[in-house]
Amino acid sequence: MMSEASPAIREKVAAIYRDDSRRVLATLIRLLGDFELAEEALHDAFAAAVTQWPREGMPANPRAWLVSAGRFKAIDSLRRQTRYDASVAELANQLEIDSATPPDWDEASVADDHLRLIFTCCHPALPADAQVALTLREVCGLTTEEIARAFLSRASTLAQRIVRAKAKIRDARIPYQLPSAEELPERLDAVLRVIYLVFNEGYSASSGDSVTRADLSSEAIRLGRLMHELLPEPEALGLLALMLLHESRRTARASATGELILLDEQDRALWDRALIAEGASLVEQALRSRRFGPYTLQAAIAAVHAEAPSAEMTDWEQIVGLYDVLARVEPSPVIALNRAVAVAMRDGPDAGLALIDTLLSQGELADYHPAHAARADLCRRLDKRAEARAAYRRALELAQQVPERRFLEQRLAMLED
């Protein structure tokens, strides 16, 4: 009976590790006050589960069992260290005292711990690149190698970045707690920015052989759903909506052979209507709050695209209007570029080209390959072949993603032929 039960229980342990290990880790970090100690305790707890659960049966609350086991494993580890390092004795004693108090890791507290971990990893005292790396490692559970591949860094560099971030949290005594009501807007912006950066890298990879990275965008959406569940602020709704609406187009963004397909040429029958409906509903909720910001406005633009039966039937007037509002809320050259492309669709390529030329003359987009690609496309549509070729060549010099480079090379070859 034992041999028959073991594989099934082992599968359950694996499923709990996959679904709940980051939540257990978040609670262990709160209880133990140290990232490294908590991670070691997490792995020790799951190792104990693999050994004990087949023999003793599944506990009624596996997550609470794992937290309790992890805490006691950490105390045992610290007790062993006291033989060589007296400085850890006090910590071990304190953990034992705390263990005598009733446990406080019910579902609500564990959810709060997960949210605390997100805000800790995205604390403004940490550099922006460290916030991204630490969030992917500790909240999402990606390996250092996976993060390094996603952001074109060496694994050793990423590992050092994560180690330094943890040391900063420890040495600066960054509190492992939720921000106050006064701190929330600024702190929430940092968390949403990290999630958005992760999604962007997954939805439109900055380099490599694939148009998208499904693993990263799915992790970002998982984080977005978690934020929506734990902290349903309007901009958290807006960001989740934006990601879902973009994600709905994933399968149509590349051909079966991996070639890039632009929005106006995509097969809209491949768009995921369930994600579109969910995203559009979240946009409406965020807009009704009257406290929305740039993520909600971008989601509203994505919703207009998603609900149009074709590129030609898109409500470009509404999209330009939304970009006008977005440019006032969060002015940036990239938003101005996107608005210029929408103006070209509404008023014709001449109008859009004039706006893009003005933006390029200001210098901020000089090394931004989408700006040169957009200029090339408008010149192509206006039959300005020499200018189009020059712009495509400049975009090609700057582009890093392989499918995007192939697309630009194909357009350039068509003009040269």
pLDDT tens by residue, 104-138: 545 555 557 877 888 899 898 999 889 988 988 88
Report pLDDT for 4. 46
How far out from the chain centre does Cα 68 lie? 30
Same domain, residue pair 92 and 112: no
Query: Is 192 a domain residue?
Result: yes
Residue 363, Ramachandran bin (φ over 0: left; ψ between -120 and 50: alpha; else beta): left
- Residue 232 resides in a domain: no
417 shares a domain with 319: yes
Q: Are both 93 and 114 inside the same structural domain?
A: no
Q: Which two tokens stand for residue 89?
A: 């004795």
In a domain, 290, yes or no: no
Does 242 fall in a domain? no
Residues 85 and 146 in one domain: no
Domain that holds residue 146: 106-203
In a domain, 59, yes or no: yes
Look at residue 257 in the predicted model and tell me its pLDDT. 85
Give pLDDT, residue 240: 97
| CATH assignment at residue 383 | 1.25.40.10
The domain tally of the chain equals: 3
End residue of a domain, out of 203, 221, 242 = 203
Whether 322 is covered by a domain: the verdict is yes
58 falls within a domain: yes
Q: Which of 54, 87, 103 is the last residue of a domain?
A: 103
At residue 9, the pLDDT reads 81
Predicted pLDDT of residue 230 = 75
Same domain assignment for residues 96 and 113: no
CA dist., res. 134 & res. 26, Å (int) = 13
Tell whether 92 and 120 lie within a shared domain.
no
Domain boundary among 177, 203, 229: 203
d(Cα 229, Cα 240) in Å, to the nearest integer? 11
Q: Would 248 be classed as within a structural domain?
A: no
| pLDDT for res 129 | 86
Q: Are residues 97 and 115 in the same domain?
A: no
384 in the same domain as 331: yes
pLDDT score, position 209: 53
Same domain, 417 and 329: yes
Co-location of 167 and 120 in the same domain: yes
* pTM of this structure: 0.73
| Same domain, residue pair 83 and 116 | no
What are 216-257's pLDDT values in tens digits? Answer: 788 889 889 988 887 888 999 999 999 999 999 999 998 888
Residues of the chain with confidence (pLDDT) below 50: 1-5, 91-92, 95-97, 99-102, 105
Contact 111, 162 (CB under 8 A): no
